[in-house]
Amino acid sequence: MADLGFVGLGIMGKPMAGHLLAAGHTVHIYDLVADNIQLVAQAGGRPCSSSKEIAQKSTLIFIMVPDTPDVEAVLFGKDGLADGLKSGSIVVDMSSISPLATKEFAKRLGARGVKMLDAPVSGGQVGAKKGTLSIMVGGPVDVFEQVKPVFELLGKNILHIGDHGAGQTCKVANQIVVALTIEAVSEALVFASKAGVDPMKVRAALLGGSAQSRILDLHGERMIQRNFTPGFRIRLHQKDLNLAQQSARSMGISLPNTAMAQELFNAVAAQGGIDLDHSAMVLALEKLAQHKVSG
């Protein structure tokens, strides 16, 4: 089995690294939070003191961190991967970041003889734990084929989208759909509940028809049960919608409903809910309606 590296052991990274370990790989691990390293070390991960050390000990390295500046720091910051990468190594960034920055990172790594894939995921904490993530990949096809057997340990729907940055563009599109669907489910459940109808029964009925969706199933239940423990935090979805709006401006196109969804996230964040699950968007609509879905 190959020696792998994994940087970023948060809500998503921790179970993902666990799947690699369970498959028999040696996995060198690093995170800024010592407790996260310790938890994965208990499952067999080999702790490292920096991203640089990860690069020195691994030739296939995965990154799963929150945002574009975090990826840049992992790659090119002090004691970053670039300080220890060997020519011929492969870096797979599974974070959700700027497509434009991704292209620049790939260019900089390529100048060092290092190959890169951008491979953001969808499926949230549940998908990470079950190994059922959707993985959307940008980069050279031959590198994708080389890494695909490892991707198959992490996800079920694994697609090569295009060149560097294409995976990130696909992920931004995914986040637009998810945000707008959360908004639609929120509106529907607030409407039904305010009308005096049991929202759980409405949800069950809708799941059997054309309105069926994973968001209605999982996040609709969260809204009704008031379970906003984060699987995917509002602050991270705000970041992704910012990427969508920035890209839209650069292309000269309008994303009006994406902007509206962002404003609803902003409203929840202003009420102190920035670290709640993104299904908590419903709180903004409940405030407008002066009515709680569960009530």
Q: Do the Cβ atoms of 265 and 258 come closer than 8 Å?
A: no
Residue 59: how many CB atoms within 10 A of its CB? 15
Per annotation, catalytic residue among 52, 103, 129, 171: 171
Residue 69: how many CB atoms within 10 A of its CB? 13
Report d(CA 62, CA 171) in Å as an integer: 17
DSSP 102-149: HHHHHHHHHTTT-EEEE--EESHHHHHHHT-EEEEEES-HHHHHHHHH
Coil, strand or helix: which one is 45?
Answer: coil
Positive or negative CA dihedral for 122, 229, 189, 129?
Answer: positive
Report d(CA 103, CA 118) in Å as an integer: 9
Residue 171 is among the residues annotated as catalytic for this protein: yes
Q: List active site positions.
A: 171
